Chains A and B, each alone.
Chain A
Amino acid sequence: MKRWVPDWLRGMLGLRGRLIAAFLLIAVGGTATIALVNYSRTKDTLLQQAQNNAVRTVRQQLNQVAGTIAYPPNEDTLLTIQEAVLSGAPNTQVMVVYKDLKVDSGGVNEQVTGDMRQAVGGGGFAYFQRVGTSTVPRLVIGMPLQSDDYQSTGIEVYTLHSLRVGDQRSENVAGTIEGVASTSLQTALITTLIAALLALLAAQGVLRPVRAMRQVANELADGDLSARMQVRGSDELADLSRTVNEMAETLEYNVEHLRRMEAGARRFAADVSHELRTPLAAMVAVTEILETDDPRLPPETQASAQLVARETKNMARLVEDLMEISRFDAGSAALRLEECDVAQAIKGALGVRGWQQQVVGSLPAGVIAQIDRRRLDVIVANLVGNALKHGGSPVHLDLRVVGRYLEFAVTDNGPGMSEEVLPHVFDRFYKADTARTRSVGSGLGLAIALENAMLHGGRITANNVQPNGARFVLYLPLQARPPKEERP
């Protein structure tokens, strides 16, 4: 989920929100459909009933009046018929037509269509038609007046009935329809509420294991590989929980295995260098004797002795570097911070190795930092030594303060580093030139320099400069964090 989505919206968009929305949609949709069907059917039935009633009433009235009238009718006759119908159906407008004669109690003629006139005039049956709008429903009934012997009299009677609320007789109809509608609404509301509750329950049931799973996944991600799900029941979620647990178990086993192997390898390297140190101590002790140039010795013996002495010292240096790296790996490298003038410390490191004449650049005094001087010495020795080895003298040095860091740049004017070499310069035993069998250093120098910088909370970067040359920049915090053992 993206960051910019606020929490409450995330909740709405989440599984719970979607479940509830789905439940509600189904409930509302279902209820509405049922209510609609109910409503329209009830309405139809009720209107049908009202219609039938109206037709029956009109017919009854006409039947009664049919025997009393004279033929051919005049206008009075038509009025009599009208009155008779009105007496039976008070809220009705009545129109009576005979040939060209017509009496209308009001507005009926406008509602009667030509089709209807034709149908009523031609046949002996009653016709009706619903007119008006849905809010003001009206009914037009057209009926030929028949004589007692069911002969057509040529008189046509049209009545207009209102089904509107307020009309005494049709009030029941509209009221009943309203009632149906409101019942449907209430039902829909109750159903919706129940649906929402059910949705919440269902969401809860699904979400609890999902939340638990997320918790476990978070713990796993944080490195606690012993985190496990509680498996309950035998549904799909329980299966998923089991799978997650199996995955975590495999992960834990593999990581543990790898860790043990790595720790084993590191311990082995540490042990080997430790074991090498005692015989080396004995050998180093006699190197001075081997370096003799006693003229009584045969030249081969003397050369061999000198070679052994030289290589013994190299080996001692390599073992020391290995042990130093092992201490970083084991996390037992301690920082002994003291306040010092960095330029002075760097000059000291150069002086001890006789490098003052081989460097140029600026080492301004007054850069005061909390550092481990021995470790700074190691870093300077490795960076400058490396530059002298690959670029030759003079090596350009530059010390300055950038913010809360000191920046010490070592630039040589050698050929620089190729693109393949650059990412690996700080790797252990990485040799830039694979064809070269062995260099002066142990192959651990830059790795150790970087470890020392990182122990201070600093770093070292490597890159090429134009037109040629490699540049290593050491960054150290002026106020290094206190060493671990001094923390409470």
Chain B
Amino acid sequence: MHLLLRGPIITLVAHVLLIEDDPAVREGMRLALGRNQHQVSAADSGEVGLQLLATGDLPDIVVLDLMLPGINGFEVCRRVRSTYDDLPIIMLTARSDDFDIVAGLEAGADDYVVKPVEPRVLEARISAVLRRGGGTQPAKPAANDSQYGGLEIDRMALTVRRGGTPVSLTPTELKLLLELSSSPGQVLSREQLLRAVWEHDYLGDSRLVDACVQRLRAKIETDPAKPVYVQTVRGFGYRFGPV
């Protein structure tokens, strides 16, 4: 991944693994992404995609269609997550499949776009996801290394330890945790979090936040059913602590 100056906008140029079974859509996306200098590897099934991951260069991001022949998108998503913690995944879905979106987010996807998607929308999402892993930090870092109960967050090294054991988080989960913990005890609405973490403007999908909070709790909380670090404030949003 490297920075490219194109016009007035700085875009991240990435190696994208595109898993999409329809040849026309695959070709169209390859053309569109390729035009913006992204390097695109394309796979026509989940099996081929996982194969490419295992053997080829590791991509910066996976763009994954949910409706795939053979092993479906959710399963591909889970397998990618189990092997590569910090590899961002963007799902390609249809809006009619509301349930699929939730299932995909639970399987570990970082974001989703609805087909048919205009290239600049996909481009924007890819850039946003990649920036999360790029070490950009919240505007007001509390301290480089903060300790909250049994949770230790190193804002410089971008590592998280629970009881001394390193916790492996995806870039989105890490960004969410950094955002929440930068102002402990303060309630952040889902919209605020969507803007800060996902860079979604108006009408972002709050389920992205909820699904990501669920995944984050599963990794950092002792009992995810009774969260201590990421607490829900009904009707308002989420709050870090008080521990």
Instruction: Classify chain A's interface size.
Output: 20 to 34
Name the interface residues of A345-376: CB closer than 8 Å to any CB of B. Answer: 348-349, 351-352, 373-374
Measured between beta carbons, the chain A residues less than 8 angstroms from B24 are: 278-279, 281-282
Measured between beta carbons, the chain A residues less than 8 angstroms from B116 are: 277, 280-281, 283-285, 316, 319
Name the interface residues of A266-319: CB closer than 8 Å to any CB of B. Answer: 274, 277-289, 313, 316, 319
Q: How far is the CA of A339 from the CA of B120 in the complex (A)?
A: 31
Name the interface residues of B138-180: CB closer than 8 Å to any CB of A. Answer: none
Measured between beta carbons, the chain A residues less than 8 angstroms from B98 are: 334
Further 15 A-B residue pairs, CB within 8 A, beyond A277-B94, A287-B118: A281-B22, A282-B22, A283-B116, A284-B117, A285-B117, A285-B119, A286-B31, A288-B118, A288-B119, A289-B32, A289-B35, A313-B118, A316-B116, A327-B96, A352-B201
Q: Which residue of A278, A285, A373 has the most chain B CB atoms within 10 A of its CB atom?
A: A285
Q: How far is the CA of A384 from the CA of B35 in the complex (A)?
A: 36
Residue A377 CB within 8 A of the other chain: yes
Residue A323 CB within 8 A of the other chain: yes
Q: How far is the CA of A339 from the CA of B191 in the complex (A)?
A: 12
Chain B proximity of A485: nearest CB distance (Å): 10
Residue B186 CB within 8 A of the other chain: no
Q: How far is the CA of A284 from the CA of B115 in the complex (A)?
A: 9
Residue B27 CB within 8 A of the other chain: yes
Measured between beta carbons, the chain A residues less than 8 angstroms from B27 are: 282
Q: How far is the CA of A278 from the CA of B96 in the complex (A)?
A: 14
Measured between beta carbons, the chain A residues less than 8 angstroms from B29 are: 282, 285
| Interface bits B90-119 vs A (CB < 8 Å: 1, else 0) | 000011101000000000000000011111
Residue A148 CB within 8 A of the other chain: no
- Tell me if A287 and B119 are in contact (CB < 8 A): yes
A-B contact count (CB 8 A): 73
Q: How far is the CA of A323 from the CA of B96 in the complex (A)?
A: 8
Residue B203 CB within 8 A of the other chain: yes
Measured between beta carbons, the chain B residues less than 8 angstroms from A171 are: none
Residue A75 CB within 8 A of the other chain: no
Name the interface residues of A138-189: CB closer than 8 Å to any CB of B. Answer: none
Q: How far is the CA of A282 from the CA of B29 in the complex (A)?
A: 7
Query: Which residue of the partner chain A has the closest CB to B67?
Result: A278
Residue A338 CB within 8 A of the other chain: yes
- Tell me if B235 and A285 are in contact (CB < 8 A): no
- Tell me if B203 and A288 are in contact (CB < 8 A): no
- Tell me if A374 and B203 are in contact (CB < 8 A): yes
Measured between beta carbons, the chain B residues less than 8 angstroms from A279 are: 24
Q: Which residue of B28, B118, B120 has the most chain A CB atoms within 10 A of its CB atom?
A: B28
Tell me whether A281 and B28 are in contact in the complex, defined as CB-CB below 8 angstroms, given that A288-B120, A316-B116 are known contacts: yes
Q: Which residue of A279, A286, A313, A316 has the most chain B CB atoms within 10 A of its CB atom?
A: A286
- Tell me if A281 and B119 are in contact (CB < 8 A): no
Name the interface residues of A322-355: CB closer than 8 Å to any CB of B. Answer: 323, 327, 332, 334, 338-339, 348-349, 351-352
Query: Which residue of the partner chain A has the closest CB to B21?
Result: A278
Residue B25 CB within 8 A of the other chain: yes
Tell me whether A285 and B25 are in contact in the complex, defined as CB-CB below 8 angstroms, given that A277-B94, A316-B116, A327-B96 are known contacts: yes
14 CB < 8 A contacts A-B:
A280-B116, A281-B115, A281-B116, A282-B24, A284-B28, A285-B119, A286-B28, A313-B118, A320-B95, A338-B206, A339-B235, A349-B202, A373-B203, A374-B203
Q: How far is the CA of A319 from the CA of B115 in the complex (A)?
A: 11
Chain B proximity of A378: nearest CB distance (Å): 10
Q: How far is the CA of A278 from the CA of B68 in the complex (A)?
A: 13
Measured between beta carbons, the chain B residues less than 8 angstroms from A277 are: 94, 115-116
Q: How far is the CA of A51 from the CA of B22 in the complex (A)?
A: 125
Q: How far is the CA of A388 from the CA of B32 in the complex (A)?
A: 33
Q: How far is the CA of A348 from the CA of B202 in the complex (A)?
A: 6
Query: Which residue of the partner chain B has the closest CB to A327?
Result: B96
